[in-house]
Chains A and B, each alone.
Chain A
Amino acid sequence: MTRNTPLLRASAVALAACAALWAFFVWRAPIDSMQGPIQKILYVHVPCVLGAYLGFGLTALTGALYLWRREERFDRFSAASAEVGVFFCTLVLLTGPIWAKGTWGRWWTWDLRLTLTLLLYLVYVSYLLLRSFTEGSERAARFSAVYAIAGLAVIPLNYFAIDLAGGRTVHPENLGRGSLGAGMGAPFALGMLTAVAAFAYLLVRRLEVGTLRAELDRLEAETARSEA
């Protein structure tokens, strides 16, 4: 059973509040004249992008901190952040094509941001596979931290690479001033906030699992040793 720690309760409350507000504003937001109702999926898509990149940034950062300080809590945070981040990344890759099919008529294009996020997803998955397939939690921690750092370094490189290959075509340019219709600003902003809240909540829960699992590993190791 999950322990109902204060942190968990606080993040749950924050998430509930943000989500409620956000849902309200999304429901109330005007329907886009050009794209139709499908445009509303963007209120999910864009915040998820934030979650995906935030997740990886945190994974790499805490990985580096682990290598520097060798404190296990950094490694646990890194692992948790990666799992939560990959969840958001999956949502991006699911909601994106749905929106694309609704507006451009195609499920997938190799444009800059889509490709970049797809590559991020692959790095995430490789990171998680590396963690699973390395024996020894200390070694897994070290290896995955190194990989996360390399992965983070490659994100800007990928951006320029795809741009070079001519990928700057289909994706709508970012929300410049006034490009959003009236009534769309609030749901977007709240969406970002909700994404952060959701990320925090999931992270806290995942961290708890991580701590419990570490405790279980320790007990198992002690038992194994006493039987040896």
Chain B
Amino acid sequence: MSFALRTRGLEKRFGPLVALHPLDLELAPGAALAVLGPNGAGKSTLLRLLAGLARPSAGTIEIESRARSRVERRRNVGLVGHATFLTPTLTTRENLLLAAKLHGLAAPAERAARALADEELEGVAERRAGALSRGLAQRAAIARALLHDPKLVLLDEPWTGLDARAAARLSARLDAEKRAGRTLVVVTHDLGRVVGLAERALVLARGRARWLEAAALLDETALAAATADAVARMESAR
């Protein structure tokens, strides 16, 4: 059976601190995984490992049924982080153009234009990225992350700082991408957004992980309860 993402024994240590204990996970194509848990649990670390920004201390990461080099993995992964990764002195269009060039895409200008259109950013295409509002900047970041057509999309608390309309827009976009076959891994505290988007949920606390039952994802209350429970169990099991 082919999978979109698989990790075996994925571990990250920062000196003496174990940020992520050995983790095994497997995601089918088109699946969406929510990663939940308190601050400092290792969620961002997990995303950065998957994105190829950090090197695992141990374990493997496979994308699309093959263990690939870090460089190849970066080709197939899109990351929306806490920060937008946009260069403030360049315009929105130029930022996307830069991303397209860095990914070695053919016809970078067209890809950038298409990415702008997908997020309806044509109006601010010539505005400096540093002058974009939070909502617009986030959309630009999403455009950037999806520009190179990655199979796996990682999002780190993407709804933070967005107003209700922008947040709904983002959820709609993610839904559309899922239906288009992309695999999503979303770190968030916004449990309401998770319900209806993710079929599976992983809770992290102190670098350890625990899977939630599918039933927990049916509504927000159940999810909150299950998450709190999982965290409590992990924190007490020292």
Kindly identify which residue among A137, A222, A228 contacts B14, using a CB–CB cutoff of 8 Å.
Answer: A137
Q: Does B40 reach chain A (CB closer than 8 Å)? A: yes
Chain B residue at minimum C-beta to C-beta distance from A218: B16
DSSP class of A's interface residues: helix, strand, loop or mixed?
helix
Q: State the CA gap A214–B238 with chains docked (Å).
A: 20
Q: State the CA gap A216–B14 with chains docked (Å).
A: 14
B55 CB contacts on chain A under 8 angstroms: 70
Asked if residues B17 and A226 are in contact (CB atoms below 8 Å), the reply is: no
Q: Does B39 reach chain A (CB closer than 8 Å)? A: yes
B238 CB contacts on chain A under 8 angstroms: 226
Chain B residue at minimum C-beta to C-beta distance from A139: B14
B15 CB contacts on chain A under 8 angstroms: 72, 136-138, 141, 214, 217-218
Q: Does B206 reach chain A (CB closer than 8 Å)? A: yes
B235 CB contacts on chain A under 8 angstroms: 226
A136 CB contacts on chain B under 8 angstroms: 14-15
Q: Does A3 reach chain B (CB closer than 8 Å)? A: no
A32 CB contacts on chain B under 8 angstroms: none
Q: Does A125 reach chain B (CB closer than 8 Å)? A: no
DSSP class of B's interface residues: helix, strand, loop or mixed?
loop
As a 0/1 sequence over residues 46 to 86 of chain A, the CB contacts with chain B under 8 angstroms (1 = contact) are 00000000000000000000000010100000000000000
A72 CB contacts on chain B under 8 angstroms: 15
Asked if residues B14 and A214 are in contact (CB atoms below 8 Å), the reply is: no
Q: State the CA gap A141–B16 with chains docked (Å).
A: 12
Total contacting residues, chain B, CB less than 8 A: 13
As a 0/1 sequence over residues 40 to 56 of chain B, the CB contacts with chain A under 8 angstroms (1 = contact) are 10000000000000010
Most chain A C-beta atoms within 10 Å of own C-beta, residue among B14, B39, B55, B238: B14
B57 CB contacts on chain A under 8 angstroms: 70
Q: State the CA gap A148–B161 with chains docked (Å).
A: 43
Q: Does A17 reach chain B (CB closer than 8 Å)? A: no
Considering the complex, which residues of chain B in the window 7-54 have a beta carbon less than 8 Å from any beta carbon of chain A?
13-17, 38-40
A-B contacts at CB below 8 angstroms, number = 33
B48 to chain A, nearest CB (A): 13
Q: Does A180 reach chain B (CB closer than 8 Å)? A: no
Q: State the CA gap A192–B238 with chains docked (Å).
A: 51
Q: Does A177 reach chain B (CB closer than 8 Å)? A: no
Asked if residues B40 and A228 are in contact (CB atoms below 8 Å), the reply is: yes
Asked if residues B38 and A221 are in contact (CB atoms below 8 Å), the reply is: no
Asked if residues B16 and A217 are in contact (CB atoms below 8 Å), the reply is: yes
Asked if residues A225 and B206 are in contact (CB atoms below 8 Å), the reply is: yes
B14 CB contacts on chain A under 8 angstroms: 136-138
As a 0/1 sequence over residues 185 to 228 of chain A, the CB contacts with chain B under 8 angstroms (1 = contact) are 00000000000000000000000000000110110011001101
B39 CB contacts on chain A under 8 angstroms: 228
Chain A residue at minimum C-beta to C-beta distance from B16: A218
A228 CB contacts on chain B under 8 angstroms: 38-40
Chain A residue at minimum C-beta to C-beta distance from B14: A138
Chain A residue at minimum C-beta to C-beta distance from B15: A137
Q: State the CA gap A218–B14 with chains docked (Å).
A: 10
Chain A residue at minimum C-beta to C-beta distance from B207: A225
Chain B residue at minimum C-beta to C-beta distance from A138: B14
Q: State the CA gap A4–B44 with chains docked (Å).
A: 42
Considering the complex, which residues of chain B in the window 118-148 have a beta carbon less than 8 Å from any beta carbon of chain A?
none
Most chain A C-beta atoms within 10 Å of own C-beta, residue among B15, B206, B235: B15
Chain A residue at minimum C-beta to C-beta distance from B206: A225
Closest 9 CB pairs of A and B: A218-B16, A137-B15, A221-B17, A217-B16, A138-B14, A228-B40, A214-B16, A138-B15, A225-B206
Given contacts A221-B17, A228-B39, 13 further A-B contacts (CB under 8 A): A72-B15, A136-B14, A136-B15, A138-B13, A141-B15, A214-B15, A214-B16, A218-B15, A218-B17, A221-B16, A222-B17, A225-B17, A226-B235
Interface residues in chain B, defined as those with a beta carbon under 8 Å from any beta carbon in chain A: 13-17, 38-40, 55, 57, 206, 235, 238
- 21 A-B contacts, Cβ less than 8 Å apart? A72-B15, A136-B14, A137-B14, A137-B15, A137-B16, A138-B13, A138-B15, A141-B15, A214-B15, A214-B16, A217-B15, A217-B16, A217-B17, A218-B16, A218-B17, A222-B17, A225-B40, A226-B206, A226-B235, A226-B238, A228-B38
